[in-house]
């Protein structure tokens, strides 16, 4: 298949942020030339969070793989555990809090990808 790309997360250096968390950008214009979406993995440390923010034009999907936490919007609070998948439409403030004693690990997808994912 022409244009097929394979990315090994074990060969990607994560972006480390404060509060303590790490994000691996696997699929994007920067990594494989994708034009319409970005995909990565996030690990948020126990007691840490992804601070409140919003995406004005991007749809976001998160599939939670490990740990427990809360996905908090202006209107609701969703309990997170392995197997929970959250669709977050553009425009709403949201944050993710790790309420457990282990890392909260999830796969994220943006469409279109964030400006920071582009060349």
pLDDT digits (tens, 9 = 90+) for 82-102: 999 999 999 999 999 999 999
State pLDDT tens for residues 30-81: 999 999 999 999 999 999 999 999 999 999 999 999 999 999 999 999 999 9
- For residue 114, the 8-state DSSP code is P
pLDDT of 2 reads: 63
Report the distance separating Cα 102 and Cα 94, nearest Å.
Answer: 22
Q: Is the pLDDT of residue 1 over 60?
A: no
Q: What is the pLDDT of residues 19-33, one digit of tens each?
A: 999 999 999 999 999
Top CATH class of 17-117 equals: mainly beta
pTM score, whole prediction: 0.95
Q: Name, in order, each residue with C-beta under 8 angstroms of 18's C-beta and a sequence gap of 6 or more.
A: none
Q: Which two tokens stand for residue 20?
A: 């303590």
Q: Cα–Cα distance between 63 and 82 in angstroms, integer?
A: 8
């Amino acid at each position: 298949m022409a244009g097929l790309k394979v990315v090994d997360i074990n060969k990607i250096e994560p972006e480390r942020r404060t509060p303590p968390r790490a994000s691996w950008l696997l699929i994007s214009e920067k990594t494989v030339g994708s034009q319409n979406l970005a995909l990565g993995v996030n690990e948020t440390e126990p007691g840490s969070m992804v601070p409140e923010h919003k995406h004005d034009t991007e749809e976001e999907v998160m599939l939670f793989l490990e740990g427990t936490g809360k996905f908090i919007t202006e209107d609701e609070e969703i309990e997170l555990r392995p197997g929970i998948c959250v669709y977050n439409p553009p425009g709403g403030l949201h944050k993710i809090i790790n309420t457990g004693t282990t890392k909260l690990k999830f796969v994220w997808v943006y469409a279109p990808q964030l400006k920071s994912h582009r060349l």
